[in-house]
Chains A and B, each alone.
Chain A
Amino acid sequence: MQMITTIMKKHTFIAITLFASLSGCGLTDVVNPNVTDEVYLSTPQSGKSWLNGMRRQLAMTYNEVVVSTELVSDNYFNNRTLSSKVFDIPQIDYTDLDVTNLQKEIHRLRQMADFGLTRVLPADPTLSASEKAEMQFLAGVASLLSGELFVALPATAQGAALKPVEHFNQAVSWFEQAVATTQDAAEKQAYQLLLARTYYQLGNRAKVVELTTPLLTNRTLLRPVRYDGVNGVANSIQFYVYSSTNNEFAPLPRLDFLDPKYYHIGSATTDQRTVVLTKAEEAYLMLAEAQLGNNQPEATRQTLLTLLIDVIANRPRVLIDDKRETRNGGNRADYPTTAVQVRFSPGSIAHEGLVLDRSKQNVSVYAVSGTSVTPEQVRGAATADDLLYLIALIRQEVFFAEGRRMTDLGIKFPVAQNEHLNNSAISTTDLKAQFPAFIPTNRTLDDFTFDRATGIVTIKVDMNQVLVRNKTAPEIFPLINP
């Protein structure tokens, strides 16, 4: 027994020594699950994955753009508690996290493009010209959005805050490079249309006419932003207008017939609809506005008629089941989900067919573009202002839920607090949102009344009328008052 004890004592020492030696080898190794910059750039074909990452970033950016700006505008009202509760007022504080998020995503798109073109591209010779062009194009999108949505923004990391016009100039340069580089015909047209849009924002009628005219023949042009619900990049606006258990966002009643533009059939995870980055309609709308700016009302009328008859009318429509829509989010007393009439403003005529009856059967929605404007209305427009009103209305309806309306209303975001705290180049004037004087406050943008007796919804303000009345305001109609 004594011997066993002795052996055990020895073993104790061996065991302790062994533990110590084990601790000296395998136990101290850790497996790093990350890919570092160096590893990434030194492995083959990094370019394709970076470009795909940029496409993903475009989707993330558009999520912020569309959701935030649709709420700020008169298009959608947040009827529940998810997402912003102040954009509808409209109130845009530089301290608001949503302002930071929007800014962050745009910068990230720009920085990714920069990293892609300056670091990844030299490291990966397999990238094609078209792929390089797409990177340039996405850099252009970042610049365009910077100018359209913000009063000012840096264009480099912690750089000086550039005014919109400087961003538009950068966007022009990027889009021109992309157009020149790409070998993909369809992409080239899309880039050209975005270039035209940039000139539109710069108020350059001649360039808009020059660039849009050759694009008019492609009446199905559509450049989408793609999502991937399986991999966690779901289309946010689709969630808020359809896929969420409850519909969070409610449209302005006169736009009810356009809702939802995004929907799922089957599983929401796998059925994520695309958001339009640009489409054929935009060429016509910009051209029409340029023509009106050039005092060519008849040309404008013709452009709009072609747009309605040959472009919008041919866009696909889809029947979807929206019977569970309740419009009872609780933030406002809402309009019914049965068909009611709508007045665009107090005293105007009541329109039928704009509020759909969702309770009984599937509804037909517009997957790309829809409008309430008829060719008769275009033909009957007596004055330039009437035509301008129709342009504004078609723009609102065609670009509905695509994140364009806020810019058309002349509203811009301020620079975010986080940028201000970390970037001495930001001045306090950059921290104030831009609201044209004609923008109503206190939730009036989305407001309406409902007369139960007559079954008529009356919208408080017809913002398109307001825009036309204020057409000389510098924040709006870039081609009317360049």
Chain B
Amino acid sequence: MNILKRWLALLLMVMLWLPVTSVAQRKISGTIQDKRTQEPLPGAVIALQGSTIGSIAGADGTFTISLLDTNIDPVFRVTCVGYRPLLLPLGAAYTLDVLLEQDQTQLDEVVVTGQGLSVSKRRLSTNVVSIGEKDIENQPSTRLDQLLQTQLPNAQIRLTGGQSGATSIIRSRGVNSAFLSSTPIIYVDGVRLDNLNTSTNLSLNLSGSRSQGTATSAIADIPVENIEKIEFINGGAATTLYGSDAANGVIQIITKKGGSEKTDVTFETRLGAQTPTNDFLYFKRTPELLLQNGFFQQYNLAINGGQGPFGYSFSGNYLNSQGTLIFNQNQNQRFDFRTGFRAGLGKKVTYESSFSFVRSNFRRVRNGNAGGYTGLWFTESGASLITGPGFNNRLDELNDTDFERIKAYAQRAEELQNNQTTINRFQTSQVFKYLPLSNLTVKGTAGLDYRVQRELGITTNEYLHHIGGNTTGQGSIANYDRKYLGLTLELNGQHEARWNQFSVLTTLGGQLFRNDDHQIEYRGDNIRDGAQTISLAATRSSNEYLAQVVNYGVYVQENIGYQDKLFIDVGLRGDGNSAFGKNIGVQYYPKVGFSYIPSVEKYFQPVQRVVSSAKIRANIGEAGNFPTPFANERTVQLVGFQNDQAAFFGQAGNADLRPEKTRTIEAGVELGFFKNRILLNTGFYHSLTRDALFVVPPAPSTGENNQLRNIGRILNRGFEINTTLIPVQTKELEVRVRFALNTLHNEVLSSGGAAPFNLNGFSARTIQTVVQEGYPIGFLRGNVGVFGPEGTLQSTTVQSYLGTTLPTLFGNLGLNVQYKSWAFFANADYQRGAYANSFDRQFRFNYGVDNEGVPQAEIDKNKRTNWLNFTNIFTEKTDFLKVRVIGVNYKVRPKLRDRRIRTLSVGFTAENPFNFATSSFDPEATISGAAQGQGGATTGGISYATYSVSRQFVGTLRIQF
């Protein structure tokens, strides 16, 4: 029966997709341009008010639109991200040339985030960041998090290593959870995506433990092509309606669903060079052993067009990034395509869909705590002394013969590694909008994200022999398959009522999402070199992991406006979730907020010459993070042992397991000065996470395993300041400077009596990032040594606080200069107040490469045996300013009337050109594993055998036909 229902649904979907045309009685055409520069605004939307009829401006800003003769006194609403919306009565005209004015305050921008349906920013008591097509074009990135890195003023995004596809750390408003990842949830066209930003439960281990090195991120393969707009909201009242997993914020990606009546074809090619970031390497000659210059190429073909109520969009993309590790050991090849459709089915129904497919392949080398042979450990940590035959580990002092010897050894060890990750990902969103009344919109969304990841590690006997050790026929092949299926179903309605000076926007909806995560490990040991599958192995073994979670929620929201200047926002979401304990029923998330626009008031007029616009907003709201599926049950664990079943204690169980709830109180002011040439958006937030999930290690005498419990309280608070200055703005020249500053105070207020536990790092006697009451999440803990006046170690205090890994201050900077058809841009981000440990340095001391600041007297007396007893020596401040991109772009519009090429733009970008850091190592290239397992929290903070993100110098040619 279920199968039948599913087939029926599928059939309906196919039928509804059939192209249909409606009768056009009146064809309106025109252009949409920037009022200041007269530049066309491709992607601007023109829509007939109260209906589904509309069109999108093409590459040259032109549009055509067909009206039915039943449309009496049509009024168009013209919108474009970054521009003030315009209402235009058509009258009897057949042409319409629209000039849109840039809207610095963006108060009237319509956003979808947080509300289920669209709403103007004016009405919101929260802050929404939207990034339009133009910003995306100017920040050519191959992955979403990198693209957002300098675009989100109140979030910090750090790639944790230079290996392609590696996980990132994304956090806004601090770290809400000591157990779960701080990565926001990501939606594409209303459908949730797999946002796993840690290693999977069963995964290839190239770093000692899975949490001690690079893992593959599910964010790295989200296609970033064909995006119309990205919206981001911080966790808090803004994400209340998203319920049980939205405490970290929400990223919404809205893809293109079609263009103008003409067909726009855009071809883009990006070619360039990649060079390794050597800034932080200890030895000048390390690059000669491990690194290379790589070639980067990317080709993209996009077709956008439409006719009448139909629109289509296609984008195909091929990327080949050779990477900067020798033997192309960090190569990334990717092919993806994305399509989007929209169809107006009569006056009241629209259908939108998007599909994307991506195939991505990454190569990987050993890193982090892999031990044995690990390129960077071998070189930068001085472990060459004890690896293989043993070498003089002071690379820069070697004579040519010795250098050639070590180089031959290292290069062979690199060459013999064969590890890769392949991802096939399919994602689709199907949306129906129904407007039964001009002020009522009903929207149904259904979609899925299906991501299949295969990790393959072939360890040959030749490799094992090369790096030394007792090996006989020990080659192995390890495969890890992970299949993720995320389903989203959502139905909601929005009604707008106006009554005198009041407007009431009511939103009511329900959402169901389901994640299935199935992982299989299959490996062959004792296998001949040359074998590519485990079928030839002497021993074969396998393992399986399954997690499923279903969340169903209902939400309601009232947004009441008075005179378009004062708004009150009230909302509530109730969620049930299969991961909750059996004693836990529906969990509720309430919110309430207001926004007020004093700048429209009469009393404001005297100051308006200085303060041109103002908005005050405040709110309080809750959002959650649901616990790990099935962590609520008491279980018996079973495995094989000596060819028979072996049973033992599994989870201790917790029938009261519930989501963590973060309650955020925030208040902010948005001010525009001097005709909005200076914009200041400043706010304060105070987020308190209650029922914080802690993995509680029980008393050893219970014999039980660790159990997840809601026992913690975590505080995050800070100021969020975002400023935009426009010192020059003429028809031909505009200079725009952005500056964002955030402060952060993070503290575990209570651990509910649980013992400290680690997020990252190694054993408790070395270095770890730890969660402990009274400290920030993920602070560095290690042994602090005190030296006597004669320079020898006097005392060691074990497991001491060495510094926080969370910055107390962070933000980003941007400069955009537009002169005629030239655009110059530069973006940077920075942090202050965080610390990290260099385990590489600690090893350099241990292996005698360098004294690393340890007094000679200590070495004379105790040699290097105390290397772990003064970890404080190797802990450094990690303030940094990193320039992420500098670029220039030139756009040409051939003036011929009958032109084949509409626009041609040439650009050049330098990615990661400059790094300024107080630490001797790369503050971002840190092992970021989540010791608490898949989807676990991490804060980085330990620099150890991790590659820095490479530099890229890329030229772009973009032709629109």
**Is the A/B pair a real complex?**
yes
Say if the beta carbon of B408 comes within 8 Å of chain A.
no
Residue numbers of B with Cβ under 8 A of A are 2, 5-6, 8-9, 12-13, 15-16, 20-23, 345-346, 348-349, 351, 371-373, 383, 385-387, 390, 432, 434, 444, 446, 464, 467-474, 487, 489, 491, 510, 512, 514, 525-526, 538-539, 541, 545-550, 552, 578, 629-630, 633-642, 644-651, 653, 697-704, 753, 755, 763-766, 798-799, 843, 846-847, 865, 868
Pick from B464, B539, B648 the residue with the most CB of A within 10 Å. Answer: B648
Say if the beta carbon of A31 comes within 8 Å of chain B.
yes
- Assembled-state Cα–Cα distance A298/B645 (Å): 51
Q: Are B23 and A324 in contact (CB under 8 A)?
A: no
Q: Are B473 and A266 in contact (CB under 8 A)?
A: yes
| B766 closest partner in A (C-beta) | A85
- Assembled-state Cα–Cα distance A18/B1 (Å): 13
Q: Are A1 and B549 in contact (CB under 8 A)?
A: no
Q: Are A85 and B765 in contact (CB under 8 A)?
A: yes
The 7 listed contacts between A and B (C-beta, < 8 Å) are A8-B16, A23-B512, A35-B637, A37-B635, A97-B764, A265-B472, A422-B755
Q: Are B701 and A230 in contact (CB under 8 A)?
A: no
Known contacts A37-B635, A86-B765, A96-B764: does B642 contact A416 (CB below 8 Å)? Answer: no
Please name all residues of chain B whose beta carbon is closer than 8 Å to the beta carbon of A54 when the two chains form the complex: 648
Pick from B526, B763, B766, B843 the residue with the most CB of A within 10 Å. Answer: B763
Please name all residues of chain A whose beta carbon is closer than 8 Å to the beta carbon of B539 when the two chains form the complex: 230, 267, 269-270
Please name all residues of chain A whose beta carbon is closer than 8 Å to the beta carbon of B546 when the two chains form the complex: 31, 33
Q: Are A30 and B23 in contact (CB under 8 A)?
A: no
- Assembled-state Cα–Cα distance A85/B547 (Å): 37
| A60 closest partner in B (C-beta) | B648
Please name all residues of chain B whose beta carbon is closer than 8 Å to the beta carbon of A39 when the two chains form the complex: 636
Q: Are A330 and B702 in contact (CB under 8 A)?
A: no
Say if the beta carbon of A217 comes within 8 Å of chain B.
no
Q: Are B642 and A242 in contact (CB under 8 A)?
A: no
Known contacts A37-B635, A52-B646, A107-B701: does B753 contact A12 (CB below 8 Å)? Answer: no
Please name all residues of chain B whose beta carbon is closer than 8 Å to the beta carbon of A416 when the two chains form the complex: 700
Known contacts A100-B700, A245-B467: does B487 contact A12 (CB below 8 Å)? Answer: no
Tell me which residues from 37 to 78 in chain A have a Cβ below 8 Å from any Cβ of chain B.
37, 39-40, 46, 48-50, 52-57, 59
Please name all residues of chain A whose beta carbon is closer than 8 Å to the beta carbon of B649 when the two chains form the complex: 108, 111-112, 115
Known contacts A36-B635, A269-B525, A328-B386: does B641 contact A322 (CB below 8 Å)? Answer: no
Q: Are B642 and A40 in contact (CB under 8 A)?
A: no
Please name all residues of chain A whose beta carbon is closer than 8 Å to the beta carbon of B703 when the two chains form the complex: 104, 107-112, 157
Contacts beyond the supplied A49-B644, A422-B699: 10 A-B pairs with Cβ under 8 Å:
A5-B22, A9-B346, A12-B16, A31-B548, A34-B635, A50-B648, A107-B703, A245-B371, A266-B472, A268-B474
- Assembled-state Cα–Cα distance A8/B19 (Å): 11
Which of B547, B640, B699 contacts A157 (CB under 8 A)? B699
- Assembled-state Cα–Cα distance A270/B351 (Å): 59
Say if the beta carbon of A95 comes within 8 Å of chain B.
yes
Please name all residues of chain A whose beta carbon is closer than 8 Å to the beta carbon of B390 when the two chains form the complex: 326, 328
| B515 closest partner in A (C-beta) | A30
Please name all residues of chain A whose beta carbon is closer than 8 Å to the beta carbon of B471 when the two chains form the complex: 245, 324
| B343 closest partner in A (C-beta) | A8
Which of A12, A81, A97 contacts B345 (CB under 8 A)? A12
| B867 closest partner in A (C-beta) | A85
Please name all residues of chain A whose beta carbon is closer than 8 Å to the beta carbon of B799 when the two chains form the complex: 95
Please name all residues of chain A whose beta carbon is closer than 8 Å to the beta carbon of B8 when the two chains form the complex: 18
Q: Are A35 and B636 in contact (CB under 8 A)?
A: yes
Tell me which residues from 132 to 174 in chain A have a Cβ below 8 Å from any Cβ of chain B.
153-154, 156-159
Q: Using an 8 Å CB-CB cutoff, how does the interface string of A226-251 with B read, 1 for contact, 0 for none? A: 10101111000000001111110000
Please name all residues of chain A whose beta carbon is closer than 8 Å to the beta carbon of B12 when the two chains form the complex: 11, 14-15, 18
| B346 closest partner in A (C-beta) | A5
Count of inter-chain pairs, beta carbons less than 8 A: 297
Please name all residues of chain B whose beta carbon is closer than 8 Å to the beta carbon of A115 when the two chains form the complex: 649
Say if the beta carbon of A364 comes within 8 Å of chain B.
no
Say if the beta carbon of A329 comes within 8 Å of chain B.
yes
B467 → chain A closest CB, angstroms: 6
Known contacts A28-B550, A107-B703, A270-B526: does B372 contact A9 (CB below 8 Å)? Answer: no
- Assembled-state Cα–Cα distance A245/B390 (Å): 14
B848 → chain A closest CB, angstroms: 9
Pick from B21, B468, B538, B753 the residue with the most CB of A within 10 Å. Answer: B468
Say if the beta carbon of A319 comes within 8 Å of chain B.
no
Q: Are B699 and A15 in contact (CB under 8 A)?
A: no
- Assembled-state Cα–Cα distance A443/B865 (Å): 9
Known contacts A5-B346, A32-B633: does B868 contact A85 (CB below 8 Å)? Answer: yes
| B15 closest partner in A (C-beta) | A11
- Assembled-state Cα–Cα distance A27/B541 (Å): 32
Say if the beta carbon of A418 comes within 8 Å of chain B.
yes
Which of B468, B470, B634 contacts A322 (CB under 8 A)? B470
Q: Using an 8 Å CB-CB cutoff, how does the interface string of A407-436 with B read, 1 for contact, 0 for none? A: 000000000111101110000000000000
- Assembled-state Cα–Cα distance A15/B444 (Å): 9
Please name all residues of chain B whose beta carbon is closer than 8 Å to the beta carbon of A158 when the two chains form the complex: 699, 701-702
Tell me which residues from 204 to 227 in chain A have a Cβ below 8 Å from any Cβ of chain B.
226
Bin the interface of chain A by size. Answer: 35 or more
Q: Are B638 and A8 in contact (CB under 8 A)?
A: no
Residue numbers of A with Cβ under 8 A of B are 1-2, 4-6, 8-9, 11-16, 18-23, 25-37, 39-40, 46, 48-50, 52-57, 59, 80-82, 84-86, 93, 95-98, 100, 103-104, 107-112, 115, 153-154, 156-159, 226, 228, 230-233, 242-247, 263-270, 321-322, 324-326, 328-331, 416-419, 421-423, 443
Known contacts A28-B552, A37-B636, A244-B469: does B386 contact A19 (CB below 8 Å)? Answer: no
Pick from B510, B630, B636 the residue with the most CB of A within 10 Å. Answer: B636
Q: Are B385 and A34 in contact (CB under 8 A)?
A: no
B339 → chain A closest CB, angstroms: 20
A134 → chain B closest CB, angstroms: 13
Please name all residues of chain B whose beta carbon is closer than 8 Å to the beta carbon of A23 when the two chains form the complex: 489, 512, 552
- Assembled-state Cα–Cα distance A36/B655 (Å): 13
| A102 closest partner in B (C-beta) | B700
A14 → chain B closest CB, angstroms: 6
- Assembled-state Cα–Cα distance A265/B649 (Å): 33
Please name all residues of chain B whose beta carbon is closer than 8 Å to the beta carbon of A33 when the two chains form the complex: 545-547, 630
Q: Are A30 and B646 in contact (CB under 8 A)?
A: no
Please name all residues of chain B whose beta carbon is closer than 8 Å to the beta carbon of A330 when the two chains form the complex: 383, 385-386, 846-847
Q: Are B699 and A419 in contact (CB under 8 A)?
A: yes
- Assembled-state Cα–Cα distance A36/B650 (Å): 9
Q: Are B646 and A324 in contact (CB under 8 A)?
A: no
Known contacts A85-B766, A330-B386, A418-B700: does B464 contact A245 (CB below 8 Å)? Answer: yes
A421 → chain B closest CB, angstroms: 5
Known contacts A9-B349, A12-B349, A32-B633: does B868 contact A321 (CB below 8 Å)? Answer: no
Please name all residues of chain A whose beta carbon is closer than 8 Å to the beta carbon of B651 when the two chains form the complex: 34
- Assembled-state Cα–Cα distance A416/B701 (Å): 10
A295 → chain B closest CB, angstroms: 42
- Assembled-state Cα–Cα distance A32/B634 (Å): 12
Q: Are B489 and A19 in contact (CB under 8 A)?
A: yes
Please name all residues of chain B whose beta carbon is closer than 8 Å to the beta carbon of A109 when the two chains form the complex: 703
Known contacts A230-B541, A270-B526: does B763 contact A329 (CB below 8 Å)? Answer: no
- Assembled-state Cα–Cα distance A156/B704 (Å): 12
- Assembled-state Cα–Cα distance A324/B531 (Å): 25
Known contacts A246-B468, A269-B539: does B635 contact A156 (CB below 8 Å)? Answer: no
- Assembled-state Cα–Cα distance A93/B798 (Å): 9
Which 5 A-B pairs have CB atoms at the shortest separation, nearest pair first? A111-B703, A245-B469, A422-B699, A267-B526, A49-B645
A153 → chain B closest CB, angstroms: 7
Please name all residues of chain B whose beta carbon is closer than 8 Å to the beta carbon of A247 when the two chains form the complex: 470
Q: Are B642 and A34 in contact (CB under 8 A)?
A: no
Please name all residues of chain A whose beta carbon is closer than 8 Å to the beta carbon of B386 when the two chains form the complex: 80, 246, 328-330
- Assembled-state Cα–Cα distance A270/B471 (Å): 13
Pick from B345, B697, B703 the residue with the most CB of A within 10 Å. Answer: B703
Please name all residues of chain B whose beta carbon is closer than 8 Å to the beta carbon of A322 when the two chains form the complex: 470
| B636 closest partner in A (C-beta) | A40
